[in-house]
Amino acid sequence: MNTKYKSLFEPFQLNDGIELKNRIVLAPMTHFSSNTDATVSDAELEYYARRTGGVGMAVTAVAYVTKGGIGFQNQFGATGAEFTEGLRKLATTLKSNGAKAVLQIFHAGRLSPAELVNGDVAAPSAIATDRTNDGSEAPAPRELTAQEIDDIIVDFGKATANAIEAGFDGVEIHGANGYLVQQFFSPHANRREDKWGGSLEKRLTFPLAVVDEVQRAVKEHAKGPFIVGYRFSPEEPETPGITMADTLVLIDALAEKNLSYLHVSLMEYASTPRRGVDDKRSRLEIIQERVGAKVPVIGVGAVNTPEDALNVINTGAPLVALGRELIVDPDWVEKVESGRESEIDYSLTKQDQDRLVVPDPLWNSIMTMTGWFPVKDAEESSTLTK
């Protein structure tokens, strides 16, 4: 190993006492490849087996906690015992090479495709999202009732119990990327005037209630230490929307919950705030300075090279997550650890699907979504040394 990258491979202990073998995390990536009955497919197991050999922790694609919260076609669920067998196979696969296995859980809220929830798209308030793939105007969701909100919170606890039963080492609450937990915190999505919305403090109520319920389920069902992480997006592009100042209030509250870690959702780890604070440093640096002494922070976003990963660690964040790069080169971690970083692949070709063990639905998305992945013709594709 190049001693320059030694810090990436030092063990790290989370707040719950669980030790990771290194600082590298497989980021959660949607792959649209579950069985039609929302159970984990063999293609998913093969996909994960191929790219978790070296990481210290692996976070799955997100599972929905209630049928009304489905977010994607061919997404797996964690809503009951019928999913346990597949989830157990997934946990076993992730842990087979020493990684800690974490099940990400969510409710999609107003981002649920209507056709997947029988047309019943529900959210904190009847406010349509601005986030549509084709630029079209999204229909307004209906507003959740107080009873439905209570039920969804309970469903997060049930999903956590399912994860424990299936043998996962932890769960990650998906409070990012515009889904329901974030919607309750967002002044754009949440226009309620009851205990669940209004002031900034009231918009914290749902996210913190979900954390409390998940931790209650852990206390009741887990027989030992169990990871509870929380992922969040620091800002929203909408107006009104979450600002960096709002996020500092959120993470201050989360830091008091004795979470295992906070996982920042960023497109670019070095990106800077757009509004809310007068600070030219990266969002990641600001977040790490604010709460890093209380809760470990995972940095992510356009981490392609070992140098990028090192830059994240050098901000003070103890953990770094890789997503697309572990699809492009599943052996990224092993290559860096064995001093072969010059052999890392930074692009793929149309002929690479079988070699990379990528399920058909994800592969089709990679091939059709221009700019999402670095796709080159076979003759021009070569290993890029950085």
Single-letter residue type at 15:
N
The C-alpha atoms of residue 169 and residue 222 are separated, in whole angstroms, by: 10
CATH topology (fold) of 3-368: TIM Barrel (3.20.20)
Amino acid at 316: G
Q: Using an 8 Å Cβ cutoff, are 322 and 309 in contact?
A: yes
Distance CA 195, CA 322 (A): 37
Q: How far apart are CA 99 and CA 97, in angstroms?
A: 6
Q: Alpha-carbon distance 276 to 177, whole Å?
A: 19
- Domain boundary assignment for the chain: 3-368
Prior bond of 240 cis (ω within 30°): yes
Looking only at the bridges linking them, the beta strands covering 19-20 and 170-175 are: unpaired
- 168 and 91 Cβ atoms separated by less than 8 Å: yes
CA Rg value for the chain: 20
179 is an active site residue: yes
Q: CB-hemisphere CA count at 13 Å for 151? A: 10
- Nearest in space to 347 (alpha carbons), one of 309, 383, 317: 383
Quote the CA–CA distance of 166 and 86 in Å, as a whole number: 8
Contacts of 150 (CB under 8 A, 6+ apart): none
DSSP percent split of the chain into helix, strand, coil, nearest 5: 40, 15, 50
Note down pLDDT in tens along the chain; length 386 residues: 999 999 999 999 999 999 999 999 999 999 999 999 999 999 999 999 999 999 999 999 999 999 999 999 999 999 999 999 999 999 999 999 999 999 999 999 999 999 999 999 999 999 999 877 667 788 899 999 999 999 999 999 999 999 999 999 999 999 999 999 999 999 999 999 999 999 999 999 999 999 999 999 999 999 999 999 999 999 999 999 999 999 999 999 999 999 999 999 999 999 999 999 999 999 999 999 999 999 999 999 999 999 999 999 999 999 999 999 999 999 999 999 999 999 999 999 999 999 999 999 999 999 999 999 999 986 555 444 44
Give the three-state DSSP class for 129.
Answer: coil
CA dihedral over 231, 235, 236, 237, signed as positive or negative: negative
Nearest to 308 by CA among 298, 297, 300, 316: 300
Catalytic one of 179, 261, 269, 346: 179
pTM: 0.97
